[in-house]
Amino acid sequence: MTDHSGPGHDRSDAGLNAIISERRQLTNLAYRLLGSLAEAEDAVQETYARWYAMSREQQDAIASPGAWLTKVAGRICLDMLGSARARRERYVGEWIPEPLPDRTDWISTRAGTATADPADPADRVTLDESVGMAFLVTLESMTPAQRVALILHDVFAYSFAEIAEITGRTPAACRELASSARRRIRTVRPPAAPAAHQAGLVKNFKQAWEAGDIDALIGLLDPGATFTADGGGLVIAALHPIEGGEQVARYITEIAGRSFDKVTILERTVNGQPGLMAQLGDVTVGVYAFEVAGDRIKHIWAVRNPDKLRPWTAG
């Protein structure tokens, strides 16, 4: 990491380390808000640039540098979400959040960063749920302000008074934003299945897919299942979601017939949940995330955009 303690910033090692140690927390926050690791890293970089642009006296006047960094990162993400919506309307095909490999730091946050509002309902979003693909996709249907209010309060335990400073709204308005976001989540998402159950379904799906067994695939898929692919216009991928269990089974079997003699399918953790990864040699060419409802697979998200798969090939 670049040493920022140049002229004018010769603060103590302890103070510098305290500032730098916030990077993981900020990246966790920005990824959940933006759904893109690359954009999250840009937001965090901009946050630090603003910190180091201040004089030593200005920095020393800030009582809680961590809270300041979070507030600035939240505002940057809020601005980025507004511009991202316009960019994604021009995106080729479907846009899916960038999948994350199995790294436990994506499902962690530092305890005690803020105090939760004791008057708020207890139905908080759990840390592992907040990084799941189904949850991130649902966030895409929300306004930027709803997204920021929900993530900061329910996941990172910031009070609505603190969130109000970031969004420029009143605490009461932020409370309503988070409540409306929760209602949407409960409306569109089925209860999460146990991880072991999901893993078993994904394993059976992989075996049936590799065998080209359409009947077995149909049996594993919900009749209303949906397959959504993201190629970003850079690789071949379905431009629109494939709907219906039988239609999905036939579509992915056709994919297998064209590529499985060259591609290896591996079981991997995707955004903290059981998923699959497709490799061509040493290069990851596809990551598949699943949503399970009951005993069937309800949704498959296939990320094939190579720009979103770099952490998988590199790591």
For residue range 65-84, list pLDDT tens digits in order.
999 999 999 999 999 998 88
Question: Is residue 270 pLDDT above 60, yes or no?
Answer: yes
Q: Give the pLDDT of residue 107.
A: 60
What's the DSSP call for residue 137?
H
Q: Give the pLDDT of residue 106.
A: 63
- Distances in Å between the Cα of 76 and the Cα atoms of 111, 136, 176 are 23, 19, 22
Set out the domains of the chain in order of their start, with CATH numbers: 13-90 (no CATH), 195-314 (3.10.450.50)
Q: Is residue 249 within 8 Å of 263, Cβ to Cβ?
A: no
Question: Is residue 219 pLDDT above 80, yes or no?
Answer: yes
For residue range 223-269, list pLDDT tens digits in order.
999 999 999 999 999 999 999 999 999 999 998 777 777 899 999 99
Residues facing 286 on adjacent strands: 278
Q: Give the pLDDT of residue 130.
A: 83
Question: Is residue 12 pLDDT above 70, yes or no?
Answer: no
**Cα three-residue angle 68-74-78, rounded to 5 degrees:** 150
Q: Give the pLDDT of residue 4.
A: 41
CA atoms of 257 and 212, how far apart (whole Å): 8
Question: Is residue 48 pLDDT above 50, yes or no?
Answer: yes
The phi-psi region of residue 157 (left if phi > 0; otherwise alpha if psi is between -120 and 50; otherwise beta) is left
**Which is more confident, 110 or 183?**
183
User: pLDDT confidence of 17, banded at 50, 70, 90?
Assistant: confident
Q: How far is CA 104 from the centre of its chain?
A: 14
Nearest to 100 by CA among 300, 297, 299, 275: 275
Q: Give the pLDDT of residue 126.
A: 63
Q: Give the pLDDT of residue 105.
A: 61
Q: How far is CA 167 from the centre of its chain?
A: 21
Most confident by average pLDDT, 126-135, 186-195, 284-293: 284-293
For residue range 144-179, list pLDDT tens digits in order.
999 999 999 999 999 999 999 999 999 999 999 999
CA atoms of 281 and 266, how far apart (whole Å): 12
Q: For a pLDDT cut of 90, what percent of the chain falls above it?
A: 66
Q: How confident is the prediction for the chain on average, in pLDDT?
A: 87
Question: Is residue 20 pLDDT above 90, yes or no?
Answer: no
Q: Give the pLDDT of residue 7.
A: 44
Q: Give the pLDDT of residue 89.
A: 82
User: pLDDT confidence of 50, banded at 50, 70, 90?
Assistant: very high
